Amino acid sequence: MQVAMIGAGYVGLVSGACFSDFGHRVTCVDTDAAKIEALRLGRIPIFEPGLEDLVATNLAAERLFFTTDLAGALEEADAVFIAVGTPSRRGDGHADLSYVYQAARDIARASRRYTVVVTKSTVPVGTGDEVERIIRELRPDAEFAVVSNPEFLREGAAITDFKRPDRIVVGTEDERAKQVMTDLYRPLYLNQAPLLFTSRRTAELTKYAANAFLATKIAFINEIADLCEKVGGNVQDVARGIGLDNRIGSKFLHAGPGYGGSCFPKDTLALIKTAQDHGAPTRIVETVVAVNDHRKRAMARKVIQALGGSARGRTIGILGLTFKPNTDDMRDAPSISIITALQDAGAVVRAHDPEGVEQARLVLDNVTYVDSPYEAASGADALVIVTEWDAFRALDLKRIRGLMGQPVVVDLRNIYRPEEMDGLGFVYSSVGRELSQG
């Protein structure tokens, strides 16, 4: 089949490369000419494990193409996916749909034959109706159907998630479009991934409900972690104790510095706005957002407390900047709020991240970036683990201890054991576990 993918970002590029790997002929279209030029040469603008090889293989096999010319890409396309960004609109938290609507107008102008227009971007309920209206208004003669097919992949594991999804949600009641979507996803369908057909509005809402639910799990376990610290419990054991219950499940129950990233913060806000607009407020999600916002600054206070109450003039080493491991994505990363709060308190910040420094430079000021965890620790008054990259899981702790000005470690991802750190002479604190006595 022939596919056009509008937007060659984290979602569009991965989806396009995976569809081409299934044997479809895919053309990725982006308005960013420099990005398209780089991709044509096999250079990947983002860090995502496995993506470079996948793109190279399918470029070489002439199943994957990159262009800025949508009209050309649409000539033979059975389906055109919209995978452009839907960031929070400045000021009010609604999803900014300007890129989606622009893509709809571009499709309307370029459309030449029956095409299924598939919204893969995360969009509020009713956006599909508006996309349909825009195309119909500009091109009353066009033959098309608008389908919602939200994407559930996670950065860092995006290819596996796309190729082995828990489910594929397709929102349409149009029989011809259903057939096209079934054919497109057939390689996955054979692997038993359930293809779930719903109405378009239901599919749109399902994506927000999924993200809001996961964000709720994180906020919940973080509050339990705070309680553990007060009463002397261990949040990892509580998480295991509840997670083994199948009704609850063990995923997304890792206490930490609060959720961030390109999806949860903006999607929870957008859901709240949609729900308020329709007079059906989602109060649980409203609270989750408030709890999470508060948490990031609270983590900076935790570091200051570990330093004895003041960070002024102290050097703090930060390990991990991206919102999670195995990505270079810095969008809404907890590290941003934590570092800013520490700088506000007078600290000097030195940071190391295996992949995120280039993006971090764009959003953080006055940070010294170093090439290794050991350089970050060197002479530092405190070392803070913010993102749990594998490279931080087996550090030479004796060496770290020797390098630091003061042996204070704040482990916001609970990757080390308190007894072990105490034994090595660190003043160690973590999240929701017995606090070290030093």
Ligand X SMILES: NC(=O)c1ccc[n+]([C@@H]2O[C@H](COP(=O)([O-])OP(=O)(O)OC[C@H]3O[C@@H](n4cnc5c(N)ncnc54)[C@H](O)[C@@H]3O)[C@@H](O)[C@H]2O)c1
Minimum CB distance to ligand X smaller for 12 or for 407:
12
Amino acid symbol at 97: L
User: Which residue, 228 or 263, has its beta carbon nearer to ligand X?
Assistant: 263
The least distance separating ligand X from the CB of residue 42, rounded to whole angstroms, comes to 17
Question: Of 9 and 258, which has the nearer Cβ to ligand X?
Answer: 9
As measured in angstroms, the least distance from the Cβ of 424 to ligand X is 37
> What are the DSSP calls for 101-138, one per residue?
HHHHHHHHHH--S-EEEEE-S---TTHHHHHHHHHHHH
CA-wise closest residue to 411 among 398, 395, 261: 395
Say if residues 13 and 42 touch (Cβ distance below 8 Å).
no
Q: Is 263 a catalytic residue?
A: yes
Neighbours of 90 (CB within 10 A): 8
Task: Quote the CA–CA distance of 35 and 26 in Å, as a whole number.
Answer: 17
Q: In what order do the strands lie in the sheet with 427-429?
A: 367-369, 348-352, 315-319, 382-385, 408-411, 427-429
Which residues in 149-178 are b (16+ Cβ under 10 Å) and which e?
A: bbbbbebbbbbebbbebeebbbbbeeeebb
**In this complex, which beta carbon is closest to ligand X, that of residue 322 or of residue 429?**
322
Which CB sits closer to ligand X, 31 or 305?
Answer: 31
Residues of this chain that interact with ligand X (CB under 6 A) are 6-12, 29-32, 35, 83-86, 99, 102-103, 106, 121-122, 151, 153, 155, 262-263
Nearer to ligand X, 265 or 317 (CB): 265
Annotated catalytic residue: which of 18, 28, 228, 263?
263
Q: What are phi and psi of 17, to 5 degrees?
A: -65, -40
CB of 245 to ligand X, least distance (A): 28
Sequence-distant (6+) residues with CB within 8 A of 332 are 260, 261, 262, 264, 265, 266, 323
**Least separation, in Å, of the C-beta of 347 and ligand X?**
31
Q: Please say whether the beta carbons of 412 and 384 come within 8 A.
A: yes
The smaller minimum CB distance to ligand X, of residues 98 and 310, is found at 98
What's the min distance (Å) between Cβ of 412 and ligand X?
Answer: 22
**Least CB distance to ligand X at residue 24 (A):** 19
How much is the CA Rg of the chain, to the nearest whole Å? 23
Residue nearest to ligand X (CB): 9
DSSP 66: E
Q: Determine how β-strand 367-369 pairs with β-strand 348-352.
A: parallel
Burial 53-64 (b: 16+ CB within 10 A, else e): ebbeebbeeebb
Closer of 25 and 35 to ligand X (Cβ): 35
Q: Cβ of residue 295: shortest distance to ligand X, in angstroms?
A: 21
Contacts 24+ apart (CB under 8 A), 364-367: 364/321, 364/335, 364/336, 364/339, 364/340, 367/318, 367/339
Query: In angstroms, what is the minimal distance from the CB of 350 to ligand X?
Result: 29
How crowded is residue 365: how many other Cβ atoms within 10 Å of its Cβ?
9
Catalytic residues: 263
